[in-house]
Amino acid sequence: MNMKSTELNIDKQYTYADYLNWMDDVRRELINGIVKLMTPAPSRKHQKISFNLTRVFGNYLVKRKCEGFSAPSDVRLPKNNKAKTDKDIFTVVQPDLYVVCDLSKLDDKGCLGAPDFIIEIVSPERAKRDVREKFDLYEEHGVKEYWIVNPHDENVNVFVLDDNGKYQFRGMFAGDDKIPVHIFKGDLKVDLTEVFIRDEKQE
């Protein structure tokens, strides 16, 4: 049965099967079955940073086995990485950017299972979700590397999964820093001067 956003109960637990039946243009995610509304459109600075990061990763990934995607693109995270049907999936997120090296996880709906690498660009409305909820979520599901980008302060916090499945903080980067991408063993270094590009019109 198709549903509109006005009919959704924010306290009810939904599945990915429900998610596919929501017939409107509202962007949302599911975290353990709970609906999380997203901002209708990020700020211009947010979008510019996302575009710059997508360009950097896109250029690097040409002719390499890994593939990169930018929002909106669904990442389905089934419990214990097991899901027989869409009704068995209770978590669906749309990271600002993600990279997948196990291409068997990709299908026409997006990615089923944990990407190797995720970037979230935080906004004031979603800061708690990205810094707390998604940190725990991505750690639990085994995302190898997680970057949290702060557009306001123009910095990036980098976390890398250790052998015990826990994130280790690898540092806060800013200014003219070049961040080594750990999943590529530092072969790609992201120059932040190519990410946080200011212009006179930015607020």
Is residue 1 one of the residues assigned to a domain?
A: no
What does the pLDDT read at residue 65? 93
**Domain with 163 in it:** 42-194
Q: What value, to the nearest 5°, has the Cα angle with vertex 10 and ends 91 and 140?
A: 25
On whether residue 16 sits in a domain, the answer given is: no
In a domain, 173, yes or no: yes
Q: What is the pLDDT of residues 117-162, one digit of tens each?
A: 999 999 876 777 678 899 999 999 999 999 999 999 999 999 999 9
Q: State how many domains the chain has.
A: 1
Mean pLDDT over all residues of the chain? 90
Sheet with 155-161: list strands edge to edge: 67-70, 97-100, 117-121, 145-150, 155-161, 167-174
